[in-house]
Structure 1
Amino acid sequence: MSRVNVSYDLDSHSLQTGIRRGVRIGTQAASSWLFIYPRGIREIILYLKNKYNNPLIYITENGRRSI
């Protein structure tokens, strides 16, 4: 039985950026490479669900801080 690597690092459809068409996708977070983009977390979770047969996913931190 061969194992399939299901790492998002190797997924060619995974776009890991905070800028789209030269424009930031959301509000700058505390780190220079992070942006607040609520729609993005929904999109990636739905993509993972469909691509990897609805795996069990735990979101322990989403990077959003209440002010």
Structure 2
Amino acid sequence: MQSVAADEPKNHVDPSSMRECNEVVDVPHRFVPWDEGSTLWGVDRASLGECWRLNHAKGLIIKALTK
């Protein structure tokens, strides 16, 4: 005879939400021209935004699973 808990649906978490954030962009130890610096800054800001959204999603998942 199976228990009631075995009949409950299992929670599914998308594996993409379990990944880690990207690393911080490395700035070379030399003079960085303005155009290269602004490109590095843009890549870093995009990574930061993606990381914020990923961590927000993780928080929503944790809240949903702990209800």
If the length of structure 1 is used for normalisation, what is the TM-score?
0.30
Highest RCO, 1 vs 2 (Cα 8 Å, sep ≥ 6): 2
Structure 2 length-normalised TM: 0.30
- Give 1 or 2 for the bigger CA radius of gyration: 2
